Amino acid sequence: MKASHLLLVLSVVFSVCFGVSQLLAAEKNIVLFVSDDHGCDAGCYGNPVIKTPAMDALAADGTLFIHAFCTTASCSASRSVILSGMHNHANGQYGHQHHYHHFSSFPKVKTLPVMLTEAGYRTARIGKYHVAPEEVYKFETVLKGPTRNGVQMAENCREFLAAEDERPFFLYFCTSDPHRGGGRLEELPGRPDRFGNTTKGYPGVEEVTYTMDEVIVPPFLPDTPACRAELTQYYQSVSRVDQGIARLVKILKETGNWDNTLFVYISDHGIAFPGGKTTTYEPGLHSPCIARNPYMKKRGVKCNALVSWVDLTPTLLDFAGATPKKPMYHGRSFLSMFDEENPQGWDEVCASHTFHEITLYYPMRVVRGRQYKLIWNIAHGLPYPFASDLWASSTFQDRYQQGPDTLYGKRTIDAYIHRPAFELYDLKADPDEVNNLAADPQYAEVLEKLQGKIKAMQQKTNDPWVHKWEYE
């Protein structure tokens, strides 16, 4: 064969291989949709009242992770974990980023958007950001959008999703719903927070409303008119998030990307009611996680693995084929479990909370297994601090004003505010975490074992608070 012919053949082979590699890369798009303060309140999670058809459809076409947990039920801190795979005590984002709180991650932290950019992805974010510094959490493109209107946010992503670009994309899509902060509804009991709902509504959104009689009051909350009134507003805000999901899915289909895009829906943490957000109780940590892998054969899988937000970055990097040789993160990929109901070796998660607002110092470290859960309240000598929006909530104030012995859900107000060093719960016998077994001699061995697990986690992840064991 002549040299010129050989060069031509090699050129064709190279072009074909290069084209195939580009095609394969283009078939690895990622969307991570993160709502704000949404607990596991959706039809697919067993709530028969709240209307979430898009979440339900996503679960039916993908995987519903029944036992998914954030590591800290605080906005900035949790988002830093989502985007780094590192506990916030190690990445430096101990609490809120905005205003005078001023927490930010260490410059050395390597985050998901940066690693995907290096792997050849075009990256974009829209909506709530709430982490710092920007060079650590760097996205190539920043899209604008009204964060209370997921439908409009989705439309604002259309051009990015439809762009003729050989590179695969990563879209980080974050609503402000269903976070509190939308004013007060004067005509309902307790003047409930509006959760972003307005009398005029939002363009493109068909508001779904609820009555106080139909909402379901979870056991950790008081069944009072004030609480039911706030739940109606929370439900409405969640249904608005759902319409944002529906529109984004529709646009992915219209732009020809649905069949090659991994779509993951989560919340940064649990519901924004006292007993949920900012706590390490189940309503604070237990969060929705619904994922659709377009290449998975099984559909409608309900996975029982215990997964954590430290596992998200490893999972998305795994899907992208961009797992680093020497990762900084603490989690592991659960991509292979998308089509498994009962995978082995996923029976424990850890949590680490330190701050919410700058004045709300209350470090907690947690290990949670299938049966037992241990919370270490490192600053147990202090009264439990309240996030400003939770303290002002009519749900809490309605109970608080009646005195310290008043029940708030299944705890007294006093028990909620003043906590012991250790809280040990048998989640099978006591799913509402009411009966603390830490001082029971019958559970001394369990307590010691779980204390060892917390300490081991702290040592492994370079937790500065590990030295606090010296004072216990």
389-396 mean pLDDT: 96
Question: In this predicted model, what pLDDT tens digit does every residue of 273-315 receive, in sequence order?
Answer: 999 999 999 999 999 999 999 999 999 999 999 999 999 999 9
Instruction: Please compute the mean of the pLDDT values over residues 161-186 and round it to a whole number.
Output: 95
**pLDDT (0 to 100) of residue 120:** 97
Interval 40-63: pLDDT, tens: 999 999 999 999 999 999 999 999
**Average pLDDT rounded to a whole number, residues 312-328:** 97
The stretch 318-329 carries a mean pLDDT of 96
Question: Catalytic residue at 40?
Answer: no
Given a cut of 80, is residue 4 above it in pLDDT? Answer: no
Rounded mean pLDDT of 328-344?
Answer: 96
Q: What pLDDT, on the 0 to 100 scale, is given for residue 12?
A: 38
* Average pLDDT over every residue of 249-270: 98
Q: What's the pLDDT score for residue 316?
A: 98
Handedness of CA 224, 198, 184, 284 (dihedral sign): positive
Query: 338 - beta bridge partners?
Result: none
| Active-site hit among 44, 75, 157, 350 | 75
pTM, whole model, 2 decimals?
0.94
Indicate if the pLDDT at residue 11 is higher than 90: no
Average pLDDT over the chain reads 93
More confident residue, 360 or 65: 65
26 pLDDT more than 60:
no
pLDDT at 407: 97
399-442 residue pLDDT tens: 999 999 999 999 999 999 999 999 999 999 999 999 999 999 99
Q: What is the pLDDT of residue 98?
A: 79
pLDDT value for 472: 82
Per-residue pLDDT at 471 = 85
Query: Which percentage of the chain shows pLDDT scores above 70?
Result: 94
